[in-house]
Amino acid sequence: MAIAATQTRYRVEGMDCASCASKIDKAVRGVTGVEDVSVSVTAGTMTVKHGDGQDLGAVEDRVRRLGYKVSPLASAAPTTVGAKPDHDHKHDHDHGACSGHDHAHARHVHDHDHDDHDDHDNHAGHDHGKHDHGKHDHGAQSEAPALAGLHGHDHGPSSGPWWRSGKGHLTIAAGVALVAAYGIGHLFPSIAVWAFDIAMLVGLVPIARRAFVAARYGMPFTIEMLMTIAAVGAVIIGAAEEGAAVVFLFLVGELLEGVAAGKARASIQSLASLVPKTALLEEEGRTKEVPAEMLAVGAVILVRPGDRIPADGVIVSGESAIDEAPVTGESTPKRKETADIVFAGTVNGDGALRIRVTASAADNTIARVIKLVEEAQESKAPTERFIDRFSRYYTPGVVVVAALVAILPPLLGGASWNEWIYKGLAILLIGCPCALVISTPAAIAASLSAGARRGLLLKGGAVLETVGKITAAAFDKTGTLTEGKPKVTDIVPLGREEAEVLRLAAALEAGSSHPLATAILAKAAERNVLAPVARDSKALGGKGVTGSIDGLALFLGSPKAAASETALPADIVTRIEAFNHEGKTVSVLLAGGVPAGLIAMRDEPREDAIAGLSALRAAGVRTLMLTGDNARTAQAIGSKLGLEVHAELLPQDKQRIVNELKAQGLTVAKVGDGINDAPALAAADIGIAMGGGTDVALETADAAVLHGRVSDVAGMVSLSRRTMTNIHQNITMALGLKAVFLVTTIAGITGLWPAILADTGATVLVTMNALRLLRAKAG
């Protein structure tokens, strides 16, 4: 039996820049049995792909030795309440509790993670909730010194004030030591050098430890190693004061990076805080307050006016305006009633609702969005992969250049050794690739978070890069460009008032769930037309419906069925054909055997479709409609929206057209519902699923538009292009600053202090520039 690969996800605390991620990545890849590793600085997560029976302790040990906190993300579902036994069973099964490797993983979590199971307030049952990992111990203290409080990056929690973190403590200690050294130097000049040496060691010892651990795992050229060499070199050439200051400035820079990285991380994880902690569960006719994460699929909950909805579900009774702005960014509250879907984290407006839970806490829309974004942040964009490869050669190259600058002028030109070693050490610090390496992932992580908060989901940096390059967008019609349900577009009265025609038609259709009946009833409700009760109502299969009101015999049905009841005048037949030519379906109302009115219906374009397609065309994107619907209807919608129409297509035809567009050199996005468009979505450069929340095939497409707004596709393109501009700005800043300081250092204008500022300053600048994308609007 083949050994299946298993994935285990971890929360890693203390990462604040891309070099942290690359160190962890390389160290964990060196563990026997590990097949693949993905690390996200922004999400603070690591996913390890390994064989069953893998010794995960070795993985965790390596990460800890590098100076980070690591803890497995719990995979077991919490005990649920409110469901019938069969729901409970399904719920457990959905969480993988029945699979062998999950049993093993659950045991692993229980062995090492006792304290976190008490932390229900922080969603301890999810893959992606906030976790209180400050308590994690894993018994590792006996196996490996975890460098408690002794490393250049972070040992404290990723959340909370910076001064409470391990990194904050270390930076403050180094600052105090530096000030004390200055004081001692002024009072006792003879021991000033020793005072600065000690002040430098306060910050340098933990940095050096991490440098040597990283070197042991095959990474000799880390920023910590460059810092260690530069600081030790400064002591040797008698520049201990500058060495101590440089170590302190480095720690300050790292602290700022950590704060910036925490902001990006909080942006997406704040979505989790939208879901209330408790819910009002209905059981045996009574309500009781229970933890929201304990709700089982099938449980019925009560949501009072003004409360946040604690779970994804379907309204069982009641109606209310639901404010979806916290989750989707949709500013106008949506009116929802029985059988409508609602999402966790949205706010109930003016009516009490009873809701049947359709997804557990770990599987609700917000949880899935967070998980998708975290996984996306772990995947690397092409630009990021290029920068990683570049920095692999760049850093050793800088070390060689620094060595040559330090050695050649004294050897060949008889220059001062101290002066040129000092310049060589400054070049070492300038050469650190931190700012360059973070330039791409910082921008991409910020964009993925900003997009997710507006209902734009992109599965990773590669997708985000490609979306901005699209030159053609092929849309499905039904449910993508249109609402997916017919609406009444025209009412033509024949010898009666328009309101009367609608009143009689609504009376006949009362209680029917047929899409055309629903459209007529919706129009009557919209116009406040009260329908009387029809007597002897009867549906005639495939023809229409009959009944009577106050003794008047009524019929509402297709033109063909109406023509079989009575002869339709030529002018009415002409009107019907005109409506049909516009892609509209017509129902004829007969009253007492005489035509009383025509009602035309059509699946209308979404409200923002015209604006959304115009925005795409303005961005240089060719727009097409690929639909299986009849040519007449498709052409009518297409001409209204102003796009190219291909109708009466089978799924394989859509795929063929996408391939033809690609053969013309176009970069193609296919926008559809992600299910019947599967072949075309797969063939396109980017497949975008469109729909509402759980209806979206999130797992099949490259990207998804959660609210079903056509303009969001243009918003996605715009977000991608802004991101790429931001990345280019970041790379220019990172390399530009280094180039300037390289020249000024060799010219003797700047020394060690500006050199470290060139590195950490550039890193902070790049990170802050990337964080601007968090505030960017999606469209």
Residue 170 β-bridge partners: none
Q: Closest by alpha carbon to 720, among 694, 685, 679?
A: 685
Query: Tokens in use for 29?
Result: 């890849």
Contact 101, 76 (CB under 8 A): no
Task: Pull the structure tokens for residue 372.
Answer: 């998708």
**DSSP 8-class letter at 77:** P
Q: What angle do CA 741, 760, 752 make, to 5 degrees?
A: 50
Residue 554 β-bridge partners:
547, 591
The pair of structure tokens assigned to 361 is 């806490």
**Contact yes or no for 219/26 (Cβ under 8 A):** yes
Q: What is the biggest distance separating any 2 CA atoms in the chain, rounded to whole angstroms? A: 118
> Which is nearest to 311 in space by CA: 247, 356, 260?
356
Which among 113, 476, 702, 759 is annotated as catalytic? 476
Start-to-end CA span in the chain (Å): 51
DSSP string for residues in 237-301: TT-HHHHHHHHHHHHHHHHHHHHHHHHHHHHHHGGGGGS-SEEEEEETTEEEEEEGGGBPTT-EE
Which are the contacts of 199, defined by CB distance < 8 A and separation ≥ 6? 174, 177, 178, 180, 181, 244
The DSSP 8-state label assigned to residue 307 in this structure reads P
Q: CB atoms < 10 A from the CB of 97, how many?
A: 15
Query: What are the C-alpha distances in Å from 651 to residues 160, 475, 644, 658?
Result: 52, 13, 18, 11
As a whole number of angstroms, the distance between CA 534 and CA 1 comes to 67
The 3-class secondary structure across 417-436, one letter per residue, is: HHHHHHHHHHHHHHCCCHHH
Please choose, from the candidates 327, 299, 316, 298, the residue with its C-alpha nearest in 3D space to the C-alpha of residue 353. Answer: 316
Would you tell me how many other CB atoms lie within 10 Å of the CB of residue 695?
Answer: 17
Rounded to whole angstroms, the Cα distance separating 631 from 638 reads: 10
Residue 81 DSSP code: B
Q: How far is the C-alpha of 548 from the C-alpha of 535, rounded, in Å? A: 5
Within 8 A by CB and 6+ apart from 93, the residues are none
Is 476 in the active site? Answer: yes
Q: CB–CB of 596/575 below 8 Å?
A: no
Nearest CA among 294, 273, 439, 468 for reference residue 370: 273
Which amino acids are annotated catalytic?
476
